[in-house]
Amino acid sequence: MKTIFNTLILALLSLSFLGGKEKSICIKPGEIWPDNKGVHINAHGGGILELNGTYYWYGEHKIEGDAGNTAQVGVHCYTSKDLINWKDKGIALAVDNDSTSLLVKGCIIERPKVIYNKKTKKFVMWFHHELKGKGYDAALTGLAISDKPTGPFKYIKSLNPNKGNWPLNFSEEFKTDTATMTNIKPKSEQGKTIIERGYYVRRDFNKGQMARDMTLLVDDDGKAYHIHSSESNQTLHFAELTDDYTDFTGRYTRVLPGESNEAPAILKHKGKYYLFTSGCTGWDPNPGRLAVADNIMGPYTSLANPTRGTEKQMKTTFQSQSTYIIKVNGKKDAYIFMADRWIPKNAIDGRYIWLPIKFDNNDIPYLEWMDEWDFSVFK
């Protein structure tokens, strides 16, 4: 009797597994993360939007192999009520088959982030966009808009932001500096000084600034900011968006000039802005970084590596690179660090490193590895 009962239970369990319906109760960083169909979630370099109790996860849809490092499909969207079990909602922004479109299949779409504009009731997506066959040279940011959170998003434009505007924190002296980088290595002392003194900002003044790795933040007053690696990834730019979030106002600051930060992810906690970033080593992980400011646009002060753990974990941020910080609904001071463990040889297999953010006695955020965890970690 017992055996028949056990067999029945097993059969039921596997049936529910085949149906992809079994519920997960915890987050397992770095493991395969099945969606409601039992397929590993395909939303890399992602970000989360929360609206009326539903979370929307947007990320790069990758395919198998090397080709997955370019946009063959578009931006994938998933929804969840609990941040653990995710429903596949399909492609929110699709690449174009028309070869004259800038968003043609084979271009690069990275780190898409979506925010909701209460006034226009539109869902606004910005992403890092590179042109097909041009590597990472264009350094554009792309805009797509939708009436519904799950899309379809309509591609609007791509641009180099803040054309014809100086950063708010750019000295007069820098505006007229004539130093060039000819025959100078960017990493040399001289190169670093020239970059810190705004070489790329001047070079791109008329064309618009470079914008690669990026995130968005809507502040408590409803103002939105586009935060991106600019100046050949040497300096971050914090740029204000217009009230409808679909353009740049031209007000922007340089953050941590010449310090090579990318993969920005930002958290507002008790009135302070904590900025998580990485260094620039492509798909390979490196030590995570943290900086803090009293104002969104800076100035930012660098703090220690936010990763706590073994030497290897600290050197590689648990083999991952930041992409977004999630604020957990209904829990006090509950935030999740969201990062990617890239697998560039088989892009689709990239893993997600989600860890709860902890705070030390001085209220400084830090990260510790957990094989698996649930929301009971938050008070």
Chain positions contacting ligand GAL, by CB under 6 A = 45, 110-111, 213, 262-263, 280, 282-283, 321
| Residue nearer to ligand GAL on the CB measure, 124 or 139 | 139
Nearer CB in complex with ligand GAL: 128/254: 128
DSSP state of 309: S
Nearest-approach distance from CB 196 to ligand GAL, in angstroms = 21
Length of the chain in terms of residues written:
379
Parallel, antiparallel, or unpaired: how do β-strands 335-341 and 351-356 relate?
Answer: antiparallel
CB of 321 to ligand GAL, least distance (A): 6
What minimum distance in Å lies between the beta carbon of 286 and ligand GAL? 9
CB atoms within 10 A of CB 270: 8
Which of 41/211 has CB closer to ligand GAL?
Answer: 211
Which C-beta is closer to ligand GAL: that of 202 or that of 212? 212
HSE of 94, CA atoms in CB hemisphere, 13 A:
8
Smallest gap from residue 98 Cβ to ligand GAL (A): 25
Q: Closest CB to ligand GAL among 45 and 74?
A: 45
Give ∠ CA 277-279-284 in degrees, rounded to 5: 110
- Tell which residue, 361, 336, 252, 260, has the closest CA to residue 298: 252
By C-beta, is 111 or 192 nearer to ligand GAL? 111
* Residues 258, 157 contacting (CB under 8 angstroms): no
- Quick one: 149 or 258, whose CB is closer to ligand GAL? 258
Torsion of CA 371, 372, 375, 377, to 10 degrees: -40
Cα–Cα distances in angstroms (integers) from residue 249 to residues 115, 242, 246, 264, 295, in the given order? 17, 5, 10, 21, 18
Tell me the residue nearest to ligand GAL as measured from the CB: 282
Residues 6+ apart with CB under 8 A from 221: none
CA distance 78 to 63: 17
- Residue closer to ligand GAL, measured from CB, 137 or 243: 137
| Amino acid found at 185 | K
CA distances (Å), 173 to each of 169, 176, 345, in order?
12, 6, 46
| Closest approach of ligand GAL to the CB of residue 251, in Å | 25
Contact 287, 308 (CB under 8 A): no
Nearer to ligand GAL by Cβ, of 46 and 365: the residue is 46
Minimum Å distance from CB 233 to ligand GAL? 8
Residue 277 near residue 238 (C-beta atoms within 8 A): no
Instruction: Give min distance, CB of 279 to ligand GAL, in A.
Output: 9
